[in-house]
Amino acid sequence: MNQKPDLKERLGKSGKWVLIGLIVLVIAFTSMGSFYRVSEQENAVVTMFGNVIRTDSAGLYFKIPYLQQVQLVDMTTHGTGIGYSIGDGGQNIYSDDRDGIMITKDFNFIDIDFYLEYKVNDPVAYIYNSSSPEQVLKNVTLACIRSTIIDYNVDDAITTGKGQIQADVKEKITRELEKQNIGLQVVNIQVQDAEPPTEAIVQAFKAVETAKQGKDTAVNNANKYRNEQIPAAEASADKIRQQAEAQKAARIAEAEGQVARFKAMFEQYNLNPLITKQRIFYETMEDVLPGLKVILSDGSTQTMLPIESFVNVPAGTDNGKGE
């Protein structure tokens, strides 16, 4: 009868110790998760509820468990190839013609490779201002390299102009990264190699140059034809305008003459309507029937005289007989 209470008591005491042990473990685990260490090569960005509250450099720090999050950012210098890539643990180098082929000021192609060194200068901007800051840096670098190489002849880019090209490219990248604000900065950029492109690219470039020359020839021929045809067309247009003006003036003069003739006839008509009507009638008949013989008679004359014998009387005579 006394064994049962002893067993319950023992079990009760064991449960308390287990509970205490669990609480101790939770506290220990939570305490361990509340501390974090930042190395010399890193910075830590601490956020709470999505907001950045501080940035920590090297050292041991405490954070509120479950509320504060820590992201470590590598602050050391990194390097990458532009125009080539390094693989297999740095043993093999692969050329990338898509990024390495550039066009120069004298319209030649050059295969030029760069080695870019960069590091994080703003860990907060590096984390939050871009989803892929390294890719943005690469795109910016390519754009700056191309805009610089186009200012140099191919001989300068391969020989004596490398130092100035490096300085110009670095300055342009620095200015552009300040605008982009992705938390990265350029440490150094160097020309690794510069040489003429492969034979296939040279042939392609020659084909492009041939097409360009053909285009220039076609444009010049078109301009020549235009320069020849425009003066001829303008001269033809002037001639047509002059002919039109002459016809216009002739029509106006003819119309004005007809108006003057009509006015003169009308004045004569007002003076002698009957005679004017007869004259107009005879003139009209002569125009309509040019072979018509017109004879004037009073109805009692025995001899009919044709009117043309009177009309065609020579000058200086009275009757056409010389009297």
* Nearest partner of 143 among 189, 185, 112, 99, judged by Cα: 99
Sign of the torsion formed by the C-alpha atoms of 109, 110, 116 and 121: negative
Helix 199-271 with 273-288: angle, nearest 10 deg: 130
pLDDT confidence bin for 1, thresholds 50/70/90 = very low
HEC readout, 236-295 = HHHHHHHHHHHHHHHHHHHHHHHHHHHHHHHHHHHHCHHHHHHHHHHHHHHHHCCCCCCE
Query: For residue 323, what pLDDT is reported?
Result: 38
Query: In degrees rounded to 5, what are phi and psi of residue 21?
Result: -65, -40
Are the CB atoms for 187 and 177 separated by under 8 Å? no
Residue whose structure tokens are 């041939």: 210
Query: For residue 267, what pLDDT is reported?
Result: 81
Please determine, for residue 62, whether its predicted confidence score (pLDDT) is greater than 90.
no
The predicted model gives 217-235 an average pLDDT of 89
Lowest mean pLDDT among 24-28, 46-50, 110-114, 212-216: 24-28
Give the number of other CB atoms < 10 A from CB of residue 171.
13
Higher-scoring residue by pLDDT: 8, 122 = 122
Higher-scoring residue by pLDDT: 31, 258 = 258
Query: For residue 33, what pLDDT is reported?
Result: 63
Q: Read off the pLDDT of residues 86-138 as tens digits, 9 standing for 90 and up.
A: 665 555 455 666 778 888 998 888 889 999 999 999 999 999 999 999 999 99
The predicted model gives 56-69 an average pLDDT of 87
Give the number of other CB atoms < 10 A from CB of residue 105.
13
pTM score of the predicted model: 0.54
Strands (E), 121-213: 184-195
Q: Give the DSSP H/E element, type plus range, for residue 145.
A: helix 133-149
Higher-scoring residue by pLDDT: 87, 3 = 87
* Mean pLDDT, all residues of the chain: 80
Please determine, for residue 236, whether its predicted confidence score (pLDDT) is greater than 70.
yes
Sign of the torsion formed by the C-alpha atoms of 215, 220, 224 and 226: positive
Reading phi first (left if > 0) and then psi (alpha if -120 to 50, else beta), residue 245 is in alpha
Higher-scoring residue by pLDDT: 9, 41 = 41
pLDDT confidence bin for 320, thresholds 50/70/90 = very low
Domains annotated for the chain, with CATH where assigned, are: 11-72 (no CATH), 78-197 (3.30.479.30)
Higher-scoring residue by pLDDT: 273, 183 = 183
Are the CB atoms for 275 and 296 separated by under 8 Å? no
| Tokens representing residue 17 in the block | 């110790």
